[in-house]
Structure 1
Amino acid sequence: MTDAQPKFTVVGLDLSLTASGIAYRDGSTSTVKTKQKDGDLRLGQIEEAVLIAVGDGEDLGTAVDLVVMEDIPQNSHAAKPIAMVHGVVRNLLNKLGIPYALVTPATLKTYATGKGSGDKVPMAIAAYKRAGREFEDDNQCDAWWLRHAGLDWLGCPEFSVPAAQREALKKAEWPEVKR
């Protein structure tokens, strides 16, 4: 890991209706847990948490340059509720003028571990080996890796990964990021 401050600020989001992982611009993480009994009000809770993570865009000195989100899983029973969360968050980011990238779960796993399939344990092990980080849950771990994928793509990684793993990032669609 380098001591230099990144040239860009990136937030990572692992979105879910029940437990969304957030990796903040400073590298800290949290999980936004919602209750099923709150119904669609959970969407507002997640939107508010994302707004706090990215700021309201008024202070340009602390503006987030990029948000990296895990893409909606294909052929999953969770796709419909995750798509609802994505709609709310993407709308918020568009209103704030913050570009975002979508990274598939397989691409993220390949970037983090070198293998695009498997459970969440290798992701946590890779985070510990690369940066000494441990997480309360896999949502935070995924969000942390999403943030680092964005920093790496923008040319300011906080640690190195093998070139073959970095190549996986080319599979994602990255927006133009201006500074």
Structure 2
Amino acid sequence: MTALTSQISLPSLGGEDRGPLSAVRSGPATTDSPAPATTAGAGTPRVIGLDLSMTATGIATWDGRPLSTVRTVASDGDQRLRRIMVTVRADAYDYVAKTPIDLAVIEDLPTHAHGAGITGMVHGAVRVALMELGVPYALVPPATLKKFATGRGNATKPDMRMALFQRAGLDIRDDNQVDAWWLRAAGLEYLGHPLLELPKAQRDALAKVAWPEAVAG
């Protein structure tokens, strides 16, 4: 797995020029990705999947770039939040069309962890970034994502990886990237642009998600 450093020129928000900032990410776990599983075709909604974590945030971008993980180290302290936020903001903006993307799909915190924990800090920073850009976002509970991907709400991480391999032919070793891929797939499924043919019972799991009205499917 290689470390990639990119210079990002963010759009001006609220009259403030953010200037170029650096974001460091690792990945991809594999580049053997079949085009239909990852590449957004003409007319496909611009959707990203985000598996948020202070140490390793998985990202499935809207434009078909390889899956990636934003990795941080504890010694950077709260600067890690800024690094994650900068990266997400860059990935949630279409620099060609000069507009925000259509939807971000985020794996929600477990019910018992709401309102607390380090991952909650990351959720706050990322949601602020998305709100500043005007990108609507949906929160998908872990059990719902698992049922959508595998048919079982108590699926394990290896189950999620295997489902991705069996359904899309993608052998992804990074669990953060696997979750991010399934989150993006869930968003595209809801918007009527499915990446995969899934059983109805799995697709119906997404009915429990509170999708934003701005992107009603």
Could you state the TM-score of these two structures normalised by the residue count of structure 2? Answer: 0.75
Q: Can you list the C-alpha shifts for 1:38-75, whole angstroms capped at 9, x where unaligned?
A: 111100010011012112x6653664100000001232
Give the deviation of 1:134 after TM superposition. 1.8
Tell me the residue number matched to 1:159.
196
Is residue 108 from structure 1 mapped to residue 145 from structure 2 by the alignment? yes
Q: Go from structure 1 to structure 2 and tell me whether the alpha carbon gap of 1:33 and 1:74 turns closer, same or farther (over 3 Å shift).
A: same
Provide the C-alpha distance between the structure 1 equivalents of 2:79 and 2:154, rounded to a whole number of angstroms: 33
The alignment-based identity, stated in percent, is 50
Instruction: For structure 2, list consecutive stretches of 5 or more residues without a partner in the other structure.
Output: 1-35
Tell me the residue number matched to 2:78.
40
Q: CA RMSD in A?
A: 2.3
Question: Could you say what secondary structure the match of 2:85 adopts?
Answer: helix
Is residue 87 from structure 1 mapped to residue 124 from structure 2 by the alignment? yes
Structure exhibiting the larger radius of gyration computed from Cα positions: 2
Structure with greater strand share of residues: 2
Tell me the residue number matched to 1:51.
89
Is residue 169 from structure 1 mapped to residue 206 from structure 2 by the alignment? yes
Aligned residues: 178
After TM superposition, what 4+ stretches of structure 1 lie above 4 angstroms from structure 2?
A: 1-4, 76-79
Q: Go from structure 1 to structure 2 and tell me whether the alpha carbon gap of 1:79 and 1:19 turns closer, same or farther (over 3 Å shift).
A: farther
Tell me the residue number matched to 1:149.
186
Question: Could you say what secondary structure the match of 2:111 adopts?
Answer: coil
Tell me the residue number matched to 1:60.
97
Q: Which amino acid aligns with 1:17?
A: M
Q: Can you list the C-alpha shifts for 1:119-166, whole angstroms capped at 9, x where unaligned?
A: 201111111111111213100000000000000000001211100000
Q: Go from structure 1 to structure 2 and tell me whether the alpha carbon gap of 1:58 and 1:30 turns closer, same or farther (over 3 Å shift).
A: closer
Instruction: For structure 1, list consecutive stretches of 5 or more residues without a partner in the other structure.
Output: none
